[in-house]
Amino acid sequence: MSDTTTPSDTPAPSRHFIRQIIDRDLAEGKNDGRVITRFPPEPNGYLHIGHAKSICLNFGLAEEYGGQCHLRYDDTNPAAEEMEYVEAIERDVRWLGFDWGKHHYFASDYFEPFYRYAEELIQKGKAYVCTLSPEAFKEYRGVPTRPGKESPSRNRPPAESLDLFRRMRAGKFADGQYVLRAKIDMASPNLHMRDPVLYRIKRIHHHRTGEDWCIYPMYDFAHCISDAIEGITHSICTLEFEVHRPLYDWILEQISAPAHPQQIEFARLNLSYTVMSKRRLLQLVQEKHVAGWDDPRMPTICGMRRRGYPPEAIRTFCETIGVTKYDSMTEMELLEHCVRENLNKHALRRMAVLNPLRVVITNFPDTPAIDVKAVNNPEDTDAGTRTMAFTRELFIEREDFAEEPPPKFFRLAPGKSVRLRYAGFLTCERVEHDPATGDIAALHCRWDPPETKVKVKATIHWVSADQAREIEVRLYDRLFTVPDPMEVKDADFKRHLNPRSLSTVIARAEPALLDAAPGESFQFERTGYFCADMKDSRPGAPVFNQTAALKAVRAKKG
């Protein structure tokens, strides 16, 4: 993919708090000046725009400081993890414009080291095999305001725990029968320090290690060690892991870890009019509220790709929103602004009429057609021009005509004139109604060539009725009707689903649009940005997804 980002696309990077931490570390000579980050998705769902923020942060920081960013799958719980997701994640990260080079890892690659570190912990008396039932475990843990109780297993001699742990690995016990726990402090005000579970028994097929293991490490145990093994310097995660940091540090202090990375937390992205959790997105897919993970209405990376959002625009957005430590809700308008800003510069202009109204030119010259020259992109002279056939019968947008125009209506009305983009002027002489329905069936108009001096306040787009071809166009509105579908806890977010988030129309398009390559973006003049769908387009028969509408002042002013 070409990098079309120009300096003006990208705001001057703010020295957000993570950059400041790294600057300070570098100044102090920490980590021998290395900056190694990682993006650690769990392969149990598709990536969304919130992940894009993390990807841009981690890969961006590595790039910026001449370091390295590892792509690592946090695949320590095989319950919902699948290779399908692994492949989708790679495609999405690459499409966003980032490259992990040879640094492509799986936490499951470290199952053996994890196990050895667990044994080390047991031998040091810092971990024990606990035989409490899950119910008892919960009760012993206590609540935030009350300390927990120590498990009877807590003082089990290391040798005995070691034996038990080895038998856990060997499959001698039932799922959930025993767990390995860290021996920390049952009275800690931080629940995560109350002898947290390190390993559990789960006989589940793992997407990479198959049936090799029946015990799997927990996130807290696996993540810090993975970071240490890979020599990560700055382990950047979201705010909810803040309370896990003492445990991250505790584990690395107890074992003979090769390094001790620094965990730094930032606020995850919230975007208005959508939801941002894999669980809820999965629900939308499974319950068929959308057509799949890559439905263009989804906030997933693949959905946005299909929608026609350029990766550069997403990266600009991620830089623009900044990085902080407090929860916020970013307005969808900002993302759309970044998308339009990019597409305005790069998308070729074409004409398509979404809701056609027939126009018959009463004084058309005695010729089948007149060739008119149209500019492909006024923002980019290199994009050249094209020729369009202007004919006696046209289609114009139904909303560009008003039989009884409201005040400040600039477009066509009985007796009024309007400019046709690149093709002279139209003056409405007669309105033809459908005798049965009374609907406007056609307009009979006088035409004046471009060189005529006609005073008009608007220019409208058009297509030749003979030459235009029918194309399927999908128009999108926001997925939800409210800015924060999750605002009311425990309520069903799906009740805010917008029933009109998708509408399909058959539009009339200028012939040049038929050649659109899947994934290619255009501006339909005066209408919006549209992208030829990558899945449903056929050669010569593209299907267009609306990427974003043009800002429509006319809606307000009549």
Q: Which among 97-105, 157-165, 500-508, 522-530 is the span making contact with RNA, rule CB under 7 A?
A: 522-530
Pick between residue 220 and residue 295 the one whose CB is nearest to RNA. 220
CB proximity list for 404: less than 8 A, separation 6 or greater: 413
Q: How far apart are CA 487 and CA 485, in angstroms?
A: 6
* 224 near RNA, rule: CB under 7 A: no
Q: How far apart are CA 47 and CA 93, in angstroms?
A: 9
* 179 near RNA, rule: CB under 7 A: yes
CB proximity list for 232: less than 8 A, separation 6 or greater: 36, 37, 38, 70, 259, 261
Active-site choice (268, 386, 421, 469): 268
CA dist 160 to 153, 166, 360, Å? 10, 10, 93
Minimum Å gap between C-beta 451 and RNA is 8
- Has 268 been annotated as catalytic? yes
**Are 28 and 22 in contact, with CB atoms under 8 Å apart?**
no
* 137 near RNA, rule: CB under 7 A: yes
Tokens 């009374």 -> residue: 438
Q: Which among 307-315, 375-383, 433-441, 490-498 is the span making contact with RNA, rule CB under 7 A?
A: 375-383
Pick between residue 239 and residue 291 the one whose CB is nearest to RNA. 239
The beta strand positions in 10-122, using DSSP E, are 36-39, 68-73, 104-106
Selected binder of RNA within 28, 101, 205, 326 (CB under 7 A): 326
Minimum Å gap between C-beta 96 and RNA is 19
Minimum Å gap between C-beta 366 and RNA is 22
Site for RNA in 226-265 (CB under 7 A): 239-244
* 112 near RNA, rule: CB under 7 A: no
Nearest to 479 by CA among 300, 290, 291: 290
* 526 near RNA, rule: CB under 7 A: yes
Site for RNA in 400-419 (CB under 7 A): 408-411, 419
* 202 near RNA, rule: CB under 7 A: yes
* 455 near RNA, rule: CB under 7 A: no
Active-site choice (19, 34, 42, 208): 42
Q: Which among 30-38, 140-148, 356-364, 385-393 is the span making contact with RNA, rule CB under 7 A?
A: 140-148
Pick between residue 283 and residue 320 the one whose CB is nearest to RNA. 320
Site for RNA in 90-109 (CB under 7 A): none
- Has 203 been annotated as catalytic? no
Pick between residue 234 and residue 461 the one whose CB is nearest to RNA. 461
Pick between residue 190 and residue 498 the one whose CB is nearest to RNA. 190
Pick between residue 115 and residue 410 the one whose CB is nearest to RNA. 410
Active-site choice (38, 126, 181, 278): 278
* 23 near RNA, rule: CB under 7 A: no
CB atoms within 10 A of CB 368: 10
CB proximity list for 376: less than 8 A, separation 6 or greater: 348, 349, 383, 384, 385, 386
528-532 and 521-524 strand pairing: antiparallel
Q: How far apart are CA 237 and CA 51, in angstroms?
A: 11
Selected binder of RNA within 152, 157, 171, 176 (CB under 7 A): 176
Tokens 């609540």 -> residue: 143
**Are 343 and 548 in contact, with CB atoms under 8 Å apart?**
yes
Q: How far apart are CA 546 and CA 555, in angstroms?
A: 18
Pick between residue 20 and residue 381 the one whose CB is nearest to RNA. 20
Q: How far apart are CA 431 and CA 414, in angstroms?
A: 7
Q: Which among 113-121, 164-172, 215-223, 490-498 is the span making contact with RNA, rule CB under 7 A?
A: 215-223
Pick between residue 276 and residue 534 the one whose CB is nearest to RNA. 276
**Are 369 and 390 in contact, with CB atoms under 8 Å apart?**
yes
Read out DSSP for 492-536?
A: -GGGGB-TTSEEEEEEEE-GGGGGPPTT-EEEETTTEEEEE-TTT
Pick between residue 41 and residue 542 the one whose CB is nearest to RNA. 41
Q: How far apart are CA 61 and CA 63, in angstroms?
A: 5
Q: What are the structure tokens assigned to 377, written together? A: 């992109």
* 519 near RNA, rule: CB under 7 A: no
Minimum Å gap between C-beta 108 and RNA is 11
Pick between residue 295 and residue 522 the one whose CB is nearest to RNA. 522
Site for RNA in 337-356 (CB under 7 A): 337, 340-341, 344, 349
Taking residues 433 to 452 in sequence order and writing x for each that binds RNA by CB under 7 A, - otherwise, the string is: -----------------x--
Selected binder of RNA within 24, 104, 116, 138 (CB under 7 A): 138
* 197 near RNA, rule: CB under 7 A: yes
- Has 242 been annotated as catalytic? no
Minimum Å gap between C-beta 83 and RNA is 16
SS3 for 431-477, per residue?
EEECCCCCCEEEEEEEEECCCCCCCCCCEECEEECCCCEEEEEEEEC
CA dist 129 to 17, 134, 165, 173, 469, Å? 40, 13, 7, 12, 71
Selected binder of RNA within 6, 328, 363, 387 (CB under 7 A): 328
* 281 near RNA, rule: CB under 7 A: no
Q: How far apart are CA 378 and CA 365, in angstroms?
A: 29
* 201 near RNA, rule: CB under 7 A: yes
Taking residues 45 to 74 in sequence order and writing x for each that binds RNA by CB under 7 A, - otherwise, the string is: -----------------------------x
- Binding residues for RNA, rule CB under 7 A, total 93
> Which residues are identified as catalytic?
42, 268, 278
